[in-house]
Amino acid sequence: MIVVMDGSQGKVVGLRVTGTLHATDYETLLPMLEERFTEHGKLRVLFHADPGFQGWDLKAAWDDTAFGFAHVADFERLALVGAPDWVVWCVKLSAFLFKGEVRVFPADDLDAAWDWVRA
Protein backbone atom coordinates (compact mmCIF):
# COMPACT_ATOMS: atom_id res chain seq x y z
CA MET A 1 0.00 0.00 0.00
CA ILE A 2 1.13 3.55 -0.77
CA VAL A 3 -0.09 6.44 1.36
CA VAL A 4 0.59 10.12 0.68
CA MET A 5 1.97 11.40 3.97
CA ASP A 6 0.83 14.43 5.93
CA GLY A 7 3.29 17.20 5.21
CA SER A 8 3.10 16.70 1.45
CA GLN A 9 2.53 20.06 -0.15
CA GLY A 10 3.31 21.61 -3.51
CA LYS A 11 6.39 20.05 -5.05
CA VAL A 12 7.16 18.03 -1.90
CA VAL A 13 5.56 14.59 -1.75
CA GLY A 14 6.01 12.07 1.05
CA LEU A 15 5.03 8.47 0.33
CA ARG A 16 4.78 5.80 3.03
CA VAL A 17 4.87 2.28 1.67
CA THR A 18 4.02 -0.97 3.38
CA GLY A 19 3.48 -4.57 2.41
CA THR A 20 3.83 -5.58 -1.22
CA LEU A 21 3.02 -2.90 -3.78
CA HIS A 22 0.67 -3.84 -6.61
CA ALA A 23 -0.32 -2.12 -9.86
CA THR A 24 -3.56 -0.98 -8.20
CA ASP A 25 -1.46 1.08 -5.77
CA TYR A 26 -0.22 3.11 -8.73
CA GLU A 27 -3.66 3.77 -10.26
CA THR A 28 -4.21 6.88 -8.13
CA LEU A 29 -0.58 7.69 -7.30
CA LEU A 30 0.73 8.16 -10.84
CA PRO A 31 -2.01 10.57 -12.00
CA MET A 32 -1.51 12.61 -8.81
CA LEU A 33 2.24 12.81 -9.44
CA GLU A 34 1.65 13.74 -13.10
CA GLU A 35 -0.61 16.56 -11.93
CA ARG A 36 2.10 17.81 -9.56
CA PHE A 37 4.71 17.67 -12.31
CA THR A 38 2.41 19.79 -14.47
CA GLU A 39 1.89 22.28 -11.62
CA HIS A 40 5.40 22.47 -10.18
CA GLY A 41 7.80 21.17 -12.81
CA LYS A 42 10.17 19.17 -10.64
CA LEU A 43 9.27 17.26 -7.49
CA ARG A 44 11.01 16.41 -4.24
CA VAL A 45 9.97 12.98 -3.00
CA LEU A 46 10.37 11.25 0.34
CA PHE A 47 9.97 7.47 0.09
CA HIS A 48 9.37 6.06 3.57
CA ALA A 49 9.44 2.26 3.73
CA ASP A 50 7.88 1.09 6.97
CA PRO A 51 9.10 -2.16 8.59
CA GLY A 52 6.39 -4.16 6.81
CA PHE A 53 7.51 -3.13 3.31
CA GLN A 54 8.23 -6.19 1.16
CA GLY A 55 8.68 -4.74 -2.31
CA TRP A 56 6.76 -4.76 -5.58
CA ASP A 57 4.95 -7.41 -7.55
CA LEU A 58 6.07 -7.68 -11.19
CA LYS A 59 3.44 -5.32 -12.68
CA ALA A 60 3.97 -2.69 -9.97
CA ALA A 61 7.75 -2.90 -10.45
CA TRP A 62 7.26 -2.32 -14.17
CA ASP A 63 4.90 0.63 -13.58
CA ASP A 64 7.32 2.17 -11.09
CA THR A 65 10.33 1.72 -13.39
CA ALA A 66 8.54 3.02 -16.49
CA PHE A 67 7.30 6.07 -14.60
CA GLY A 68 10.77 6.71 -13.22
CA PHE A 69 12.40 6.54 -16.65
CA ALA A 70 9.73 8.83 -18.11
CA HIS A 71 10.53 11.42 -15.42
CA VAL A 72 14.24 10.81 -14.89
CA ALA A 73 14.98 14.55 -15.04
CA ASP A 74 11.88 15.66 -13.14
CA PHE A 75 12.88 14.79 -9.58
CA GLU A 76 14.97 17.39 -7.72
CA ARG A 77 15.47 15.26 -4.64
CA LEU A 78 14.68 11.75 -3.50
CA ALA A 79 14.99 10.72 0.14
CA LEU A 80 14.84 7.01 0.94
CA VAL A 81 13.89 6.44 4.57
CA GLY A 82 14.05 3.01 6.16
CA ALA A 83 14.38 1.29 2.80
CA PRO A 84 15.74 -2.25 2.84
CA ASP A 85 19.33 -2.66 1.65
CA TRP A 86 18.23 -4.23 -1.64
CA VAL A 87 16.15 -1.13 -2.49
CA VAL A 88 19.05 1.16 -1.60
CA TRP A 89 21.37 -0.87 -3.86
CA CYS A 90 18.88 -0.74 -6.74
CA VAL A 91 18.64 3.04 -6.40
CA LYS A 92 22.43 3.39 -6.18
CA LEU A 93 22.90 1.25 -9.28
CA SER A 94 20.50 3.41 -11.27
CA ALA A 95 21.56 6.75 -9.73
CA PHE A 96 23.63 7.67 -12.79
CA LEU A 97 20.34 8.00 -14.71
CA PHE A 98 18.75 10.17 -12.05
CA LYS A 99 19.32 13.90 -12.53
CA GLY A 100 18.41 14.94 -8.98
CA GLU A 101 19.99 14.37 -5.59
CA VAL A 102 19.44 11.12 -3.72
CA ARG A 103 20.01 10.56 -0.01
CA VAL A 104 19.42 7.54 2.17
CA PHE A 105 18.21 7.96 5.76
CA PRO A 106 17.80 5.35 8.49
CA ALA A 107 14.25 4.56 9.60
CA ASP A 108 14.62 6.61 12.78
CA ASP A 109 15.69 9.75 10.88
CA LEU A 110 12.38 10.64 9.22
CA ASP A 111 12.43 14.26 10.48
CA ALA A 112 15.90 14.85 9.01
CA ALA A 113 14.72 13.40 5.70
CA TRP A 114 11.74 15.77 5.64
CA ASP A 115 14.05 18.70 6.42
CA TRP A 116 16.40 17.75 3.59
CA VAL A 117 13.62 17.21 1.04
CA ARG A 118 12.07 20.58 1.91
CA ALA A 119 15.35 22.56 1.98
Write the pLDDT tens digit of every residue in 75-92.
999 999 999 998 888 888
Q: How far apart are CA 6 and CA 19, in angstroms?
A: 20
Residue 62 near residue 29, CB atoms below 8 Å:
no
Query: From edge to edge, which strands make up the β-sheet containing 75-81?
Result: 2-4, 12-17, 43-49, 75-81, 101-105
Domain range holding 80? 2-23+41-118
Residue 74 main-chain phi, psi, to 5 deg: -100, 0
How many domains is the chain built from?
Answer: 1
Q: What is the pLDDT of residue 97?
A: 77
Residue 35, domain member (yes or no): no
Check pLDDT > 90 for residue 69: no
Closest C-alpha among 49, 46, 42 to residue 99: 42
Q: What is the pLDDT of residue 60?
A: 94
Residue 54, domain member (yes or no): yes
Residue 88, domain member (yes or no): yes
Q: How do strand 55-56 and strand 20-21 relate by DSSP bridges? A: parallel
